[in-house]
Amino acid sequence: MTVYNIALVGFGGVNRALAELIATKNQLWQRELGFGLNIVAVSDLHLGSVVSPNGLDARTLVEANFEKGGFGQLSGGSAEADNEAVIKSAPADIVVEATFTNPRDGEPAVSHCRWALASGKHVVTTNKGPVAIAARELKELAEANGVRFEYEGSVMSGTPVIRMAERTLAGSEVNGFEGILNGTSNFVLGKMEAGLDFGSAVKEAQALGYAEADPTADVEGHDVCLKVVILANELLGANLTPDDVTCQGISNLSPADIQEASGANARWKLIGSAVRNADGSVSGSVAPVRLSLQHPLAGVNGATNAVSFKTELLGPVTVVGPGAGRIETAYALLSDIIAIHASRPAGTVKDAA
Q: Residue 271: helix, strand or coil by DSSP?
A: strand
227 is catalytic: yes
How big is the chain, counted in residues?
A: 353
Q: What phi-psi label fits residue 302: left (phi over 0), alpha (psi between -120 and 50 degrees) or beta?
A: left
Q: Are 180 and 306 in contact (CB under 8 A)?
A: yes
d(CA 311, CA 308): 9
For residue 72, the tally of other CB atoms under 10 A from its CB is 15
What distance in Å separates the CA atoms of residue 205 and residue 302, rounded to the nearest whole number?
10
Are the beta carbons of 283 and 274 closer than 8 angstroms?
yes
- Residue from 309, 329, 331 nearest 161 by CA: 309
Structural element, H or E, at residue 94: strand 94-97
- Nearest-angstrom CA–CA distance, 319 and 316: 10
Residue whose C-alpha is closest to residue 178's, from 248, 228, 237, 246: 228
Cα–Cα distance list, 293 to 116, 186, 265 (Å): 46, 15, 6
CA distance 285 to 245: 5
Closest by CA position to 33, among listed 21, 42, 41: 21
Parallel, antiparallel or unpaired: strands 35-44 and 2-9: parallel
- HSE of 193, CA atoms in CB hemisphere, 13 A: 20
Q: CA 274 to CA 277: how far, in whole Å?
A: 9
Q: How far apart are CA 292 and CA 300, in angstroms?
A: 12
Spot the catalytic one: 121, 128, 191, 227.
227
Active site (catalytic) residues? 227
